[in-house]
Structure 1
Amino acid sequence: MTLRIGNASGFYGDRFDAMREMLTGGELDVLTGDYLAELTMLILGRDRLKDPGAGYARTFLRQLEECLGLAQERGVRIVANAGGLNPAGLADSVRQLAERLGLPVRVAHVEGDDLTSAHPGSLAAHAYLGGFGIAACLRAGADVVVTGRVTDAALVTGPAAAHFGWAPTDYDRLAGAVVAGHVLECGAQATGGNYAFFGERPVRDLLHPGFPLAEIHEDGSAVITKHPGTGGYVDIGTVTAQLLYETSGARYAGPDVTARLDSVRLSQDGPDRVRIDGVRGEAPPPTLKVGVNRLGGFRNEVTFVLTGLDIEAKAELVRAQLTDALAKSPPAEVKWELVRTDRGDADSEELASALLRLVVRDPDQAAVGRALSGAAIELALASYPGFHVLAPPGKGAPYGVFEATYVPQGDVPHVAVLPDGERLPVAPPPDTAVLDAVPEPPLPEALPPGPRTRAPLGRVAGARSGDKGGDANVGVWVRGDDAWRWLVHELTVERFRELIPEAADLPVTRHVLPHLRALNFVVEGILGAGVAAQHRFDPQAKALGEWLRSRHLDIPEALL
């Protein structure tokens, strides 16, 4: 007996038509949507400040207006975390929509994740719940289940546990569903989107990637695929890339189970079909992660364009002028970054230009607003030759700070609100285990010596990177045993720090996943206080892996 679970959203703002495409493109039992991220919770928190009835993903409602009838006709149940900060409010809105459309839809929701009152000064503080509240709603006959902050994988583990009758101690089965859920959660990233080796396929195959689905079996194994005839592609590489996204060590912890990523085995099961099996699970940790979002102050920026000769001297001049102009009341934090995009003897003005970026932060909006704007614009006729900016600085905008804390599982009131209004408490897991690091496994024999060529790492390795609060992860994988024997000995923590100088003074941990021929590096603190703080040029570390792939190493010629 197979349960077919599809995904129609990887983030708040993802392809609007994906819900309709998934409902009309082929057979499905459950359709999920992941609308939440650390930054989204901050955005929804600001929405709620303006309107206490807000706080959920309104896009989801507009999609349902088009698609709720389709789902009913096809017998597809919908599970989404679009409830954000207000799952009860979204559930009420879905009921009103169904009534207006004349559809007999049973709606349930999951709540209890909101711990904002326990974190004074926070805009939103929410625990990451597991899938058993969703399972309770589905077992009670819900057609639509909306949640607040659950783990992304819970959108899959909940329906699977309900369908197959899994118990909270069916760790291997639950872990298999967690892995499948992690592959589905970011939508088209599993079907060729954001993929390191995209150049191996014709552009026409990537114009409109289909969204992924998982065929889940009672033993927890799964096949990742997509609807027939849709764009993109599913192979071991695309699934490996997504498995490495925003993970850390061999133990991938969640509220229901800890999945052992070092046990995952992938195999091609036909065109656009990848089988996942062998996944082992362990008892979950005794605590739940809580994402706490606070307003950190105000932020402003201006980018100066430096063209032609004497780039460094021009940058030095404008730095000195701005520093002097702001000396009476300097912002609390000032960060300059010179990006040398210029080339000598360029045949276009753009190619002759570098960018000098100034970012300022302060608790007081005035310190980053009018003062900076005035100081920058007043230099228009009094600074370096060719002075201009990409855009004048504005008033300054609020920025957020993300922090992860942890609370005992039993301290969070996980509640399933069933279609008839009954409030059903969801018990914490019966067993837990403290999360310990997995020792590095025995390494394969190194590749024998031979001729080498200086070349980019990306000639032989793929990568996918992302953020978790202020930390970033970079997963690196190869597609052959010889390449793995080279990579696992070559790409040490020390070599990683050499290739990514930003990480030179930061804690870096390497995790080895031999079944995936993959290494996963976690770099602590590289993103400061998280994406909303806009600490660096690439605030979510989305392209950190691609930077790593562009760095040059001495690579065995046999691999090139």
Structure 2
Amino acid sequence: MNSTIRIGNCSGFYGDRISAVHEMLVGGELDYLTGDYLAELTMLILGRDRMKDPELGYAKTFLRQMEDGLGLAMDKGVRIVVNAGGLNPAGLTAKLRELAERVGVSARFAHVEGDDLTARAAELGLGQPLTANAYLGGWGIAECLSAGADVVVTGRVTDASVVVGPAAHHFGWGRTEYDRLAGAVAAGHVIECGTQATGGNFAFFTEIDDLARPGFPIAEIRADGSSVITKHAGTGGAVTVDTVTAQLMYEIQDARYAGPDVTTRLDTVTLTQQGPDRVEISGVRGEAPPPQVKVSLNTLGGFRNEMAFVLTGLDIEAKAELARTQLEAWLPVRPAELTWDLARLDRENAETEEQASAILRCVVRDTDPNKVGRAFSNVAVELALASYPGCTFLSMPGNGSPYGIYTPGYVDVQQVPHIAVLPDGTRVEVAPAGETRPLTPVADPDLPPPLDAGPTVDAPLGALAAARSGDKGGNANIGVWVRTDEQWRWLAHTLTVDELRRMLPETVDLPITRTLLPQLRAVNFVIEGILGKGVAYQARFDPQAKGLAEWLRSRHLTIPAALLGPVTSSDPTAQEAGS
């Protein structure tokens, strides 16, 4: 047994770089290649696929990747673990067997099922969703690998489980070796989103020399659960403490990162730069998992349509009011939801027409597609010659499209089957966690006294802090971190919930929870309800909160000048504010 295994990632979402499987297999040595194809929105997309054809419901792009990737992986002795099975892991596995026979590759296939609770949703108190999928852990994967599977396909497992399963199998970990399992979860969480760990979506992206085509990440996991995050030599991007921190902070809730196998204590993670493109993750502690398993629930909420008016030049507010008044009066029937949003992107005395223009969006939703179809969009266009001067639109009229609503559910671990279907067809039931621990908040750590750093400047938060944001249903998180202990003392005392609300006025009436992570020099915020009913609901123009952290970084506050040195902000308006 090797003391270290190399687990690479080739996909962070359904639609990621199609060539990544080939790039990872030819770029260097690997023991396992994993891919994450599922997200909350993806489950809705796959659910609609399954409605059209019961044999679908899986990530079709993975089959394309295996056309040449399967033979290459078998030749190199690389085993593959992916959650591309989506709602139909058995169906995808059957397709892979057909593909292997067609291309003449000998491989053993297995899959994991049991996560799909759709047929039992009402019985379990989950309503009547389009899809209901429990987040399984890594032990079914480990069972398949122990039976000799070369390729393991799963449905909805936690994103990190495709890494935890191979590590637990390889090292023979037990179900209660929580620190080792938590270390693998941390590594899996870092590499699950692909190139986000190697410089993609990174706040300090200008510091990375080559970001033209970032390489996909690799976790070198040791028997004790510690790991090194790296990438193939010669690939773009970078692996640094900051790029790894960025992914650790992505889509988290608080210091306890719960999963079906282990609850990982993010407040125990230590990151160390070992060398170029090598970051060690160590010291991770784990606890027994919670007594309930999270369930991803997607329902069809109704139908949605949108028209965007362009308002140019003077009297923007008056023009918007006229358009609103006319449209609402002219509609033959009012949809259940009708909302307006005016984005003042215009500038005074602008040098281009685009810079002189604002955007007025009208969004309608209803369970009746007729109310949000041409009955709405045609009326909007009828205003073209009868409304404000310069009336024009960003899109042509069209029919409404269906939208989904994501909600999390929770069921007792004993209620969720977990079945490993081995290469020979044997079905093995994987027992749920034998011991559990209810989730409770972690108390904030004691902080050092506030920093007394002398004169201050008015500057954007991003002059010294990095940040990463993401979606979880209708909620969003923003993780903010800094690089030095002095900056951390300032950040922890300054960036409070009240200060966040001041800096982001759209959050002023929303519940916000703050978590301190001193070992990462980080602060995490969870903002409830900012994304409405989830990404498919499209409550905001940024429905997945991808840019929320960058908005926060652009906002100004008073920062001790000593923490910045010469003002390093790219914003030339940063000025001294006094002492």
Query: TM-score of the superposition, structure 2-length normalised?
Result: 0.96
Root-mean-square deviation over aligned CA pairs:
0.7
Amino acid paired to 1:89? G
Which digits, 9 at most, give the CA deviation of each residue in 1:3-48, with x for residues without a partner? 1000000000000000000000001000000000000000000011
Match of 2:296 among 287, 291, 297: 291
| Corresponding residue number in structure 2 for 1:13 | 15
| Corresponding residue number in structure 1 for 2:577 | none
| Corresponding residue number in structure 1 for 2:178 | 171
**CA offset at residue 142 of structure 1?**
0.2
Which digits, 9 at most, give the CA deviation of each residue in 1:47-88, with x for residues without a partner? 111111000001000000011111001000000000000000
Distance 2:512 2:470 in 1: 15
1:248 and 2:250 are equivalent in the alignment: no
Distance 1:359 1:539 in 2: 14
Structure 2: give runs of 5+ residues left out of the alignment.
122-126, 565-579
Contact in 1 for aligned 2:311/2:390 (Cα 8 Å): yes
**CA offset at residue 502 of structure 1?**
1.5
Query: TM-score of the superposition, structure 1-length normalised?
Result: 0.99
1:211 and 2:216 are equivalent in the alignment: yes
Distance 2:223 2:539 in 1: 44
Match of 1:305 among 310, 313, 334: 310
| Corresponding residue number in structure 2 for 1:506 | 510
Which digits, 9 at most, give the CA deviation of each residue in 1:347-406, with x for residues without a partner? 111111110011110010001002112211111110000110001231100000011010
Distance 1:104 1:508 in 2: 53
Match of 1:346 among 339, 350, 356: 350
Amino acid paired to 1:292? L
* SS of aligned partner of 1:385: coil
Distance 2:365 2:561 in 1: 48
* SS of aligned partner of 2:275: coil
1:320 and 2:325 are equivalent in the alignment: yes
| Corresponding residue number in structure 2 for 1:50 | 52
Structure 1: give runs of 5+ residues left out of the alignment.
none
Contact in 2 for aligned 1:11/1:34 (Cα 8 Å): yes
Contact in 2 for aligned 1:264/1:277 (Cα 8 Å): yes
Distance 2:93 2:208 in 1: 42
| Corresponding residue number in structure 2 for 1:114 | 116
| Corresponding residue number in structure 2 for 1:185 | 192
The within-5 A match list for 1:213-232 is 213-232=218-237
| Corresponding residue number in structure 2 for 1:368 | 372
Which digits, 9 at most, give the CA deviation of each residue in 1:486-516, with x for residues without a partner? 1000000110111111211111000000000
Contact in 2 for aligned 1:189/1:238 (Cα 8 Å): yes
The number of aligned residues is 557
Contact in 2 for aligned 1:300/1:393 (Cα 8 Å): no
Contact in 2 for aligned 1:455/1:553 (Cα 8 Å): yes
Contact in 2 for aligned 1:12/1:57 (Cα 8 Å): yes
Which digits, 9 at most, give the CA deviation of each residue in 1:277-327, with x for residues without a partner? 00000000011000110000000001000011111110010000011112x
**CA offset at residue 329 of structure 1?**
1.4
Distance 1:419 1:374 in 2: 56
1:417 and 2:424 are equivalent in the alignment: no
Distance 1:29 1:503 in 2: 45
1:258 and 2:258 are equivalent in the alignment: no
* SS of aligned partner of 1:269: strand
Distance 2:333 2:414 in 1: 48
Which digits, 9 at most, give the CA deviation of each residue in 1:168-210, with x for residues without a partner? 10100000000000000000000000000001234xx000000
Contact in 1 for aligned 2:302/2:366 (Cα 8 Å): yes
Distance 1:428 1:502 in 2: 42
**CA offset at residue 449 of structure 1?**
4.5
The within-5 A match list for 1:453-532 is 453-532=457-536
Amino acid paired to 2:187? A
Distance 1:276 1:122 in 2: 39
* SS of aligned partner of 1:206: coil
**CA offset at residue 118 of structure 1?**
2.1
Distance 2:547 2:519 in 1: 25
Match of 1:401 among 384, 390, 405: 405
Contact in 2 for aligned 1:29/1:76 (Cα 8 Å): yes
Distance 2:397 2:42 in 1: 25
| Corresponding residue number in structure 1 for 2:96 | 94
Contact in 1 for aligned 2:306/2:377 (Cα 8 Å): no
| Corresponding residue number in structure 2 for 1:556 | 560
**CA offset at residue 418 of structure 1?**
0.2
| Corresponding residue number in structure 2 for 1:25 | 27
**CA offset at residue 423 of structure 1?**
0.1
Contact in 2 for aligned 1:402/1:532 (Cα 8 Å): yes
Distance 2:464 2:120 in 1: 49
| Corresponding residue number in structure 1 for 2:134 | 127
Which digits, 9 at most, give the CA deviation of each residue in 1:105-132, with x for residues without a partner? 0000000000011235311110000000
Amino acid paired to 1:140? A
Amino acid paired to 2:339? K
Amino acid paired to 1:334? L
Q: Percent identity?
A: 68
Distance 1:507 1:373 in 2: 35
Distance 2:397 2:293 in 1: 41
Distance 1:522 1:270 in 2: 33
**CA offset at residue 167 of structure 1?**
0.7
